[in-house]
Amino acid sequence: MIPWKFILGWLLPSIPDIISTVKTLKKEQKHETVVLNDTARVLELERRLETQLQLIEQLTVQMAKLEKAYQVVSFLALFALVLALIALGLIVFQAR
């Protein structure tokens, strides 16, 4: 005959350990999905930051071109102003 008391005495203390192990495993799996979600979030943030960085670089290039165009237009405007003042001076002094 099998000593049932011995077997039950041996099995019953291990059942709470099994239950706590399963609970811990479930918590780790949830944590793992959170980590995966965090990883996915980090990857998404990295992708967004990379896109923003590319846009900022394009904007910087466009601003440099705009600044160069502004310099050229400013130079031409000052040159035209100087020519206009010379022409006005010639008209005024010729009339005397």
Q: What pLDDT does 33 receive?
A: 65
Extents of the domains making up the chain = 14-95
DSSP annotation of 95 reads: H
Per-residue pLDDT tens digits for 11-33 = 556 666 667 676 776 766 666 66
Q: What pLDDT does 81 receive?
A: 96
Give the C-alpha separation, 15 to 13, whole Å. Answer: 6
The reported pTM is 0.50
Query: How far is C-alpha 60 from the geometric centre of its chain's CA atoms?
Result: 17
Query: How far is C-alpha 21 from the geometric centre of its chain's CA atoms?
Result: 40
Poorest-confidence range of 3-7, 49-53, 62-66, 92-96? 3-7
* Nearest-5° Cα angle at 63, 59 to 68: 150
DSSP-assigned states of every residue in 39-51: HHHHHHHHHHHHH
Above 80 in pLDDT, residue 4? no
Q: Which amino acid is at 9?
A: G
Residue that the structure tokens 């020519």 belong to: 83
